[in-house]
Chain A
Amino acid sequence: MYLYSLTLQRATGIVCAINGSFSGGKSQEIVVARGKLLELLRPDDNGKIQTLLSVETFGAIRSLAQFRLTGSQKDYIVVGSDSGRIVILEYNKEKNVFDKIHQETFGKSGCRRIVPGQYLGIDPKGRAVMIGACEKQKLVYVLNRDTAARLTISSPLEAHKSHTIVYSICGVDCGFDNPIFAAIELDYSEADQDSTGVAAGDAQKNLTFYELDLGLNHVSRKWTEAVDNGANMLVTVPGGGDGPSGVLVCAENFVIYKNQGHPDLRAVIPRRADLPAERGVLIVSAATHKQKAMFFFLLQTEYGDIFKVTLDHDNDHVTELKIKYFDTIPVTSSMCVLKSGHLFAASEFGNHAFYQFQGIGDDADVESSSASLMETEEGFQPVFFQPRRLKNLLRIDQVESLCPIMDMKVVNLFEEETPQIFTLCGRGPRSSLRILRPGLAISEMAVSELPGVPSAVWTVKKNVTDEFDAYIVVSFSNATLVLSIGETVEEVSDSGFLDTTPSLAVSLIGDDSLMQVHPNGIRHIREDGRINEWRAPGKRTIAKVGSNRLQVVIALSGGELVYFEVDITGQLIEVDKHEMNGDVACLDIAPVPEGRQRSRFLAVGSYDNTIRILTLDPDEGMQDLSVQSVSSAPESLLFLEVQASVGGEDGADHPASLFLNAGLQNGVLFRTVVDMVTGQLSDSRSRFLGLRAPKLFSIIVRGKRAMLCLSSRPWLGYIHQGHFLLTPLSYETLEYAASFASDQCAEGVVAVAGDALRVFTIERLGETFNETVIPLRYTPRKFVLQPKRKLLVIIESDQKAFSAEEREAAKKECFEASGTGENGNGNAEKMENGGDDEDKDDPLSDENYGYPNAESERWVSCIRVLDPKTASTTCLLELQENEAAFSICTVNFHDKEYGTLLAVGTAKGLQFWPKKSSTAGFIHIYRFLEDGRSLELLHKTQVEGVPTALCQFQGRLLAGIGPVLRLYDLGKRRLLRKCENKLFPNTIVSIHTYRDRIYVGDIQESFHYCKYRRDENQLYIFADDSVPRWLTASYHIDFDTMAGADKFGNVYFVRLPQDVSDEIEEDPTGGKIKWEQGKLNGAPNKVEEIVQFHVGDVVTCLQKASLIPGGGECLIYGTVMGSLGALLAFTSRDDVDFFSHLEMHLRQDNPPLCGRDHMAYRSAYFPVKDVIDGDLCEQKNNLKATVLDIDLRRLAVVIALRRQ
């Protein structure tokens, strides 16, 4: 089996983010690393974050830094990754790519202990960069400019210190003196030797300054001093005239200012009043804002509170360090303060946000200072504060993030054309169920009823130079309605259009006159109000029209074409006639090329299943240039000029190419390239869009021409980041559409469907999925479907949290205490987070502030029955007394008394530290009431461990409890043990069944294939895996095959060899005798690995599904970083050969951006086997096909052509 791996939804979580001016000049951009993706984001004028560029790097990006050479206007990007190389990138604005300026190898690849890449420190003047590892190794590279002003990089200078753990590295701002880097270090050599533990107790973290002597080209340890043992992060303090220099050391509970030859200044980080005493406060992200006259730091704690840190200083002497409560936002992995007065917050889980500064925290607030630090016998006196509403920040945009995907199911619950993907996302108060549908989201702006059923709609401008449209013209079967667009949209009768007849086309013609084509003629309305009318000859009527701004072709009934042109005076003049063989099905004229008088090409579709290209050149007299036969009669034609890419590798712009698109009556979109000179058609491909013949319309998307195809669902063909994408829109079936531009809506679409006129805009271009979000209460763990009743049952649980009632009480108390008296009461139902209006009526929404922390042995959990259609929870059972749910399944016991029951596995008082333990485990059995909308507990059975996996098997319940697989039957009061096998190595995390086989996944030891013998009532393992695999997800593929994913980011398939499988099935004892022999402490048979692929992200869920109706099935996976991918099986050997070769060539010609070898990356833990990396194959491909309907062979041909 060969698989093609393709990312459907790129990772949405963010590892780290930096900001700067990467395109040069004044614009501010943000570069984010999303695991293995590097992206460039830019806030647009409306404060919306736009993705300019997204590059798959095939390597784990661990750190990012930006620097600027003195006197330059542009920032460079330094990337620390797992490649064992330092890479310096520059954003190339013209080509919209990252250019690799330098790539220097220093060590082995992989995230290793002593190979640098984890930390980056930059000299603030851009003269040097330090790259460090977790232990021992630190390398300094000197950055400079050569005579041609190009960036140069030196050979590395070592600043190693063995037996030393490094916690953080940063540059120290010391103006133009020798560059200095600071590092928090801990020497463990003595602690490793001393068995008494004294040395370990004495182990002291040090702050060390490394000086790079630019004259001697040498790095030396300049200064080292003990620092608080809780230190975890360093922040550069501006120096060299802008500030006092030195560093801020962030430690647990403290922020300390340190500099060489300067006394320490220490201030406590204020604590939330409700924080348990056992917990410290740790800074997890920091951002610096520096202006000419002032600077401050924003530090965020692990609870989400942001503190503003300021330093009072006179010249180089710091007198006071102040920490003031600023605001609270969800916990971030990185924050970026932009010069434009915005804050980009890359959340560690859930949506990222973009804030505008409303203030910079100058108002009075809780403040702690180095001057008021009190030391008592128990240590330093803490300062307390209460989080409040946002005061200094205002959220203006958010970037959707699925991170982390906890569970996923693909099912067509809503009976739509394509199945929906249900994902459980997020954590704690920010968790949600997200329903993903392939397609672009649209936002509907207006829907208005019309007096009849319209057949078509157009928009026209009054003048070519106008920015906005003047009229919307709607045609009915016997009339035409003209609406004028202004403040409001209203009917007008003075437009000059004939309203007693239906219309066939309405457009702007020439510079400033309007044209209406109706069955009996053409009405040409001049700008001054004069009207010229051309009448169709005799009894013939006009059937079809094609036009651009200067040319009109009409087809009369019977098949005669009449060609008109606009002359210099603006008159519409009949130029030529041409007789076709039969009736014309559709027409289109290519748009007039820039600087030309006319377009040369006319496309005519006929009912004899052909499309002809005719020339409109006056010298050639409308003769055929080329003919293309198609599978069905064309319904609609559209020429689209596509300038897909702005520059290839050679720097030359790819010339725009002209595509002819045809919607055929069998629902296929046919697309072919038109040679700009000869009019010959080549490279045709087709794609099924829906059950109706697609009608094609030209609209404007982001200032470029794009194509709207209306079949049984609307599709949009547009260009995104140099790729042409054809994506469905999540909207209902439309009849006719036109682009729409007005004051309120710059780039909209007006469409008719039924008897309504609709105006909408298309949002968030470039996304594969649009999502509907339903908020949840706690971290969702798993869910099951009730397909018949269309309901979901979700289990949610959280450690270290208070239950809803406790939180409500605490909140109420806190508001009473603070005297605000706001409506802290009476919204017990409003426990769910989410919803944009939350901020208004809930003074402290959990989504922003997080749940208050409880002691580590506390658990909260609930079981929820959710109706996804109405997004309503029909039943919510909160578990009591530290019980938390971990597994769920539906089960039909064979006595059928109750029908389908729900089994939920729970643990009571679960603790992971110091040792994993729980006071008890239970299996709850629930009965569905009210047609599945509600649950009733039947009984609860205590078991000796945590039931981490449950599954129905032959009318009984299989439970995995620690290392025990047990079969239960339903009793009146409790579950009854029937059979068990205790021979599993660690903990059972998944159970799948098929016929009499049971496929058990162990947390650490991959799959075990078991059999149940009913006559002997025995469960036994007949095959297992030879490789240890820390399973995180599993899926049953077929009788002999399982798909799994492990903790280290690998997806693999194992299969029982056919002969072994047959032998076991034929053996009357079912291989039992052999089983008793065993092999190497394991089962007698071993499964074989048939597929292996390193995804590079922890896969949490797997499912086999088909995402398009009638399409092949593929294996869909979801990951912790919020990406979705698919593995699609190849159907022919030729395709495999082709793609293997393509992959091989791309590996050579297009090495990954971060310097990691592609093959080595995909084989990071186990050698890649029989998987072709589609993400690589698509990197050099202008036609981004998605797996949603990948036509592999055509794609292959196209790629081959592109490569020539």
Chain B
Amino acid sequence: MQASDRFNINSQLEHLQAKYVGTGHADLNRFEWAVNIQRDSYASYVGHYPILAYFAIAENESIGRERYNFMQKMLLPCGLPPEREDD
């Protein structure tokens, strides 16, 4: 790798993508985008206790259960991924 490569836009993007989960790229598909958004949302719900409490009231569950449910949903937030078209 040459010294100039380190500063070109692609390698910078790669660095960002590695460092910050959820950084998009040109070939991002709809599903991946949605998964990121959903995971970010769930993490935000879990982090903000008042929102967690708000959901807990709506669903009549304990806050601990609600937090657990959100964490569990981070595994497959948008259901199964679509089949990949090999190109």
Contacts and interface: CB of A to CB of B under 8 A. Distances in A.
A246 B40 CA distance: 32
A232 B66 CA distance: 12
A282 B39 contact: no
A195 B83 contact: yes
Residue in B42, B48, B50, B60 whose Cβ sees the most chain A Cβ within 10 Å: B50
B75 A135 contact: no
B68 A282 contact: yes
Interface-centre pick from B35, B40, B71 (highest chain A CB count, 10 A): B71
A112 B47 CA distance: 8
- Centre residue among B22, B54, B83 by max chain A CB count within 10 A: B54
Contacts of A427: 57, 60
A283 B22 CA distance: 31
A13 interface: yes
A135 B21 contact: yes
A119 to B, nearest CB: 10
Interface string A397-419: 00000011010000000000000
A799 interface: yes
A846 to B, nearest CB: 14
B22 A60 contact: no
A113 B43 contact: yes
Interface in B4-33: 20-22, 32
A60 B49 contact: yes
Interface string A774-804: 0000010000000000000000001111000
A200 B75 contact: yes
B50 A134 contact: no
A62 interface: yes
A284 B65 contact: yes
B75 A112 contact: no
Contacts of B61: 302
Given A111-B48, A113-B22, A284-B65, A1098 B53 contact: yes
A830 B49 CA distance: 34
Interface string A145-187: 0000000000000000010010100000000000000000010
Interface residues of B, number: 38
A188 interface: yes
A779 B71 CA distance: 26
B21 A1121 contact: no
Contact of A800 (B60, B71, B84): B60
Contacts of A112: 40, 43-44, 47
A188 B51 CA distance: 25
A186 B84 CA distance: 24
Contacts of A912: 58-59
A194 B81 contact: yes
B50 A195 contact: no
A118 interface: yes
Contact of B63 (A203, A333, A799): A333
B71 A118 contact: no
A918 to B, nearest CB: 14
B56 A348 contact: yes
A133 B21 CA distance: 12
B60 A428 contact: yes
A270 interface: no
A428 B75 CA distance: 31
Contacts of B58: 912
Given A134-B46, A195-B80, A188 B74 contact: yes
A62 B49 contact: yes
A801 B31 CA distance: 37
B47 A799 contact: no
A432 to B, nearest CB: 14
A1120 B50 contact: yes
Contact of B81 (A192, A283, A331, A800): A192
B75 A188 contact: yes
Contact of A779 (B20, B60, B62, B63): B60
Contacts of B49: 15, 35, 60, 62, 1121
A1119 interface: yes
B49 to A, nearest CB: 5
A779 B40 CA distance: 30
Contacts of A196: 80
A211 interface: no
Give the secondary structure class of A's interface: loop
Contacts of A800: 60
A252 B65 CA distance: 10
B21 A118 contact: no
Contacts of B63: 284, 331, 333, 348
A31 to B, nearest CB: 16
Contact of B43 (A13, A134, A193): A134
B20 to A, nearest CB: 7
A331 B66 CA distance: 13
A349 interface: yes
Nearest to B22: A113
B51 A1047 contact: yes
A113 B80 contact: no
Nearest to A851: B60
Nearest to B18: A162
B64 A193 contact: no
B43 A111 contact: yes
A192 B35 contact: yes
Contact of A118 (B46, B51, B62, B65): B46
A687 to B, nearest CB: 34
Contact of B47 (A111, A403, A1049): A111
Contacts of B60: 427-428, 779, 798-801
Most buried by A among B20, B48, B80, B82: B48
Contacts of B54: 404, 1032, 1047, 1098, 1120
A302 B62 contact: yes
Given A167-B71, A186-B75, A284-B64, A348 B47 contact: no
Interface in B73-87: 74-76, 80-84
Nearest to A34: B49
Nearest to B71: A167
A1097 interface: yes
Given A200-B75, A404-B57, A912-B58, A60 B48 contact: yes
Given A348-B56, A404-B57, A912-B59, A165 B74 contact: yes
Nearest to A136: B21
A59 to B, nearest CB: 11
Nearest to A285: B64
Contact of B76 (A114, A200, A331, A348): A200
A134 B71 contact: yes
Given A113-B39, A186-B75, A195-B80, A162 B51 contact: no
A799 B56 CA distance: 11
Given A60-B47, A162-B21, A188-B75, A1120 B64 contact: no
A191 interface: yes
A546 interface: no
A1173 interface: no
B57 A232 contact: no
Given A113-B21, A134-B74, A1121 B56 contact: no
Nearest to A165: B74
Contacts of A197: 80
A882 to B, nearest CB: 14
Contacts of B74: 134-135, 165, 188
Most buried by A among B32, B44, B63: B63
19 contacts: A35-B50, A62-B47, A111-B46, A118-B46, A162-B21, A167-B68, A188-B74, A188-B75, A200-B75, A282-B65, A282-B68, A302-B65, A348-B53, A348-B56, A404-B57, A427-B60, A779-B60, A798-B60, A1098-B50
For the complex of A and B, list the 7 residue pairs with the smallest distance between their C-beta atoms, beginning with the closest. A284-B64, A111-B47, A113-B43, A302-B62, A799-B60, A134-B43, A15-B49
Interface of A: 13, 15, 35, 60, 62, 82, 111-114, 117-118, 133-136, 162, 165, 167, 186, 188, 191-197, 200, 203, 232, 252, 282-285, 302-303, 331, 333, 348-349, 403-404, 406, 427-428, 779, 798-801, 912, 1032, 1047-1049, 1096-1098, 1119-1121
